[in-house]
């Protein structure tokens, strides 16, 4: 597995590309981001990666908000800067194809084009934006961009992850 995050993740988000910086082009393992590294990548590469990290942070903040005891002033921006794809986070942003060997892991493939490239089978479309696998804990969602994975769709993605975790999907 290649990407950013915790080696013992239980939630994996898969995307087709990686940051266009030398340090990440030759990455061959899962690398935990350091605090503020997402900010550095966003600054060094432009708006595309800033959006990926921001949308990921919004999603994960909303997903974990009911389980973690966040202070009332803690925001998704704080989550991005302090926890996102770090060693203790239990999540990963992966540039390699999905591997379903990890028990109790939910897999999220971001983008229809990437899902088509991966030739994912056994998908049931819930609407024009989301599909789920009938055989794996897998969700296909819009790409990690504000226009495609809007706040309303982030809430829908959170509900799908919670449904899989509770055995209701």
Check: CB of residue 84 under 8 Å from CB of residue 38: yes
Between 123 and 100, where is the model more confident? 123
pLDDT digits (tens, 9 = 90+) for 101-129: 887 899 999 999 999 999 998 999 999 99
> Has residue 78 got a pLDDT over 80?
yes
Full residue range of the structural domain in which residue 156 is found: 3-166
Return the pLDDT at 100.
86
Q: Mean pLDDT over residues 84-108, rounded?
A: 93
| 3-state SS, one letter per residue, for 100-147 | CCCCCCEEEEECHHHHHHHCCCCEEECCCCCEEECCCCEEEECCCCCC
Write out pLDDT tens, residues 131-150.
999 899 999 999 999 999 99
Who wins on pLDDT, 111 or 46?
A: 111
Q: What pLDDT, on a 0 to 100 scale, did the predictor assign at position 86?
A: 96
pLDDT score recorded for residue 38:
92
pLDDT: which is higher, 103 or 40: 40
Mean pLDDT of the chain: 93
DSSP-assigned letter for residue 32: P
Check residue 72 and give its pLDDT: 84
CA distances from 98 to 9, 54, 80 (A): 13, 22, 23
Report pLDDT for 108: 98
**What global pTM score does this model have?**
0.95
Please give the angle made by the CA atoms of 98, 49 and 118, to the nearest 5 degrees. Answer: 25
List the beta bridge partners of residue 92. 5, 12
Do 55 and 154 form a contact (C-beta atoms < 8 A)? yes
pLDDT of residue 111: 96
Say how many domains are in the chain.
Answer: 1
């Amino acid at each position: 597995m290649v990407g950013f995050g915790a080696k013992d993740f239980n939630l994996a988000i898969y995307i087709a590309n990686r940051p266009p910086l030398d340090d990440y082009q030759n990455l061959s393992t899962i690398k935990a981001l350091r605090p503020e590294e997402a900010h550095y990548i966003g600054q060094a590469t432009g708006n595309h990666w800033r959006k990926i990290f921001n949308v990921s942070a919004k999603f994960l903040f909303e997903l974990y908000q009911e389980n973690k005891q966040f202070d009332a002033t803690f925001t998704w921006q704080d989550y991005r800067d302090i926890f996102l794809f770090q060693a203790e986070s239990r999540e990963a942003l992966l540039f390699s194809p999905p591997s379903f060997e990890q028990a109790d892991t939910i897999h999220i493939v971001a983008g229809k084009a990437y899902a088509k490239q991966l030739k994912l089978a056994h998908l049931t479309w819930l609407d024009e934006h989301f599909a789920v696998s009938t055989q794996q804990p897998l969700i296909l969602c819009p790409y990690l961009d504000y226009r495609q994975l809007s706040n309303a769709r982030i809430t829908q993605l959170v509900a799908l992850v919670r449904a899989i975790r509770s055995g209701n999907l």
